[in-house]
Every structure is written in structure tokens, then in C-alpha cells.
Amino acid sequence: MEIIILPTAAEASEVAARLIARQVREKPSSVLGLATGSTPCKLYQLLARMHREDGLDFSKATTFNLDEYVNLDPTHPASYHQFMEENFFSHVNLRRESVHIPDGMVADVPAHCAEYERAIRKAGGIDLQILGLGSDGHLGFNEPGSSLASRTRIKTLTERTRSDNARFFTGAQEVPHHVITMGLGTIMESRMCLLLAFGKAKAEAVAASVEGPVTASVPGSLLQFHPQAKVLLDAESASSLRRAEYYQGVYQNKPSWQTDL
């Protein structure tokens, strides 16, 4: 696990964008795992600008989103279908047939989840997975207590997560209770995981994920076992890390052959 601490969320997002751009340029047919929420918005803006100004080409890439609400129409303003359309898909040249988002409106959720897993395998697995971190340490919508080996499935949201996400709806009562989410086992099979966490409200979850024990109570801690996980933080989200100074020194003093940007 590499911990990258930068002064601001904008600077951390720029590093993340460069990592993703390098992945796509080196492997145009990359399979990208995408996240939603406020955290990756700046990242998607930067990737769109790279496409527009620098010719970053997504035409051969395939994408799989982490999650979607159950029984929320894809046209609903708070659906993740709409989020991705507004924040990323409409700004780059991804082929629509190569875009995959869980369908929260399906009649047979278990069958749909199994098919989502098969589609990921058929695509060759996820090369780079973008992740956010919940204030309680959840990844995707894998709430505390989720199986560390879980696959794509239906999950019930905690009241804390519903409260955190109420800002995207007209009120907390409108936030669905259920979601379809990639499982922790699915996420861990990605070749690279890129976790972004910004702001003081994430500091406790970041510290527990990075420096605490690996436990189902903090799903983000499972990334300690990932062979290529990069955690991009701003100063506020890193403020509870005991070894922040060391992580900064490691990043700033890499040998030239190890520098990846």
C-alpha cells in the first residue's frame, strides 16, 4: 500500500488522473472500475480535460461501476447512471456498449449480480479500480461487517451511509435502503486499486484503513492486503495518520527508476 499525501484534494486528484491516463495510454483496452460520489468529481473533470485537450483516448476501454441503488430509476437525478453520464461519460469517447453499471431495476437481483461478475471476468478483469472511502470505512457499498470475500450482491445501507448520502436527494427519507455493489473480493481482484479520500470527515476512516488492523468492521482496511493499492489523500484526510511524515518522505524521495509519474 502506497500512501500519497498532498496538500489539497485538487492536487491529489491530479496525481490520480495522471495514473489513470498512463494506464489508458499504455493499454488502450484497459478495463477501468469507476466510483461515484463527490470524491471523484474533480478526477473525472481532469480526465475529460485530458481527453479534450491532450487526446486521451477511451474508445477501446471498458468500464464497470462499483454500485447502484436498488429500485431507483436510471433517469433519477441521484442515480449513479445519471452521475456518470453528467460527470464523465458525456465528456469522453467511451463506447456505450463498453460501459457497465449495475441495474437496480432488475426483477432478479441475484441473477443480475452473477452476470455482472461474469461480465467482469469476460472482459479480462479490472486493470485499475477507482475507490472512495465512506466515513465509516466502507468501500463501494460494502458496509462494516461485510464479508471480506464477498462478490457483487445486494446490500442494506446503514443509517449512517443513508444520512451521508442524503445531500444527493431532496431528503434522507428518499435515500434507498438497498444497493447493488461489487463485493470486497471482486474489488481485491483488480490489478491496481486507487483509493481517494479527502476532508477531515474521512480522517478517522483513513487512519483505521491504513494503520489499523485488517477487519470486516473497517472494509477499507482490506486494501492492506492488495499488492498494488495507492491511497491518495489531502492534508485533512491524512491528519490522523501516525506515520504521515514517513509516507510523505517515501513519496518525495523515490529513486528515479521507481517514480511512476
Q: Which residues are catalytic?
A: 67, 136, 138, 143
Whole-angstrom Cα distance, residue 220 to residue 173?
27
* Distance in angstroms (rounded) separating the CA atoms of residues 125 and 209: 24
C-alpha span between 34 and 106 (Å, rounded): 21
Query: Do 187 and 131 touch, CB atoms closer than 8 A?
Result: yes
Whole-angstrom CA distances from 144 to 88, 140, 235 are 29, 11, 25
Backbone angles phi, psi at 192, to 5 degrees: -140, 140
Please state the φ and ψ torsions of residue 189, each to the nearest 5 degrees: -80, -10
Per DSSP, the residues of 129-165 read: EEEE--TTS-BTTB-TT--TT--SEEEEPPHHHHHHH
**Torsion region of 108: left, alpha or beta (phi above 0 gives left; psi -120 to 50 gives alpha):** beta
Element (H, E) at 18: helix 9-26
Q: Among positive and negative, which fits the CA dihedral 199, 204, 209, 212?
A: positive
Residue 220 DSSP symbol: G
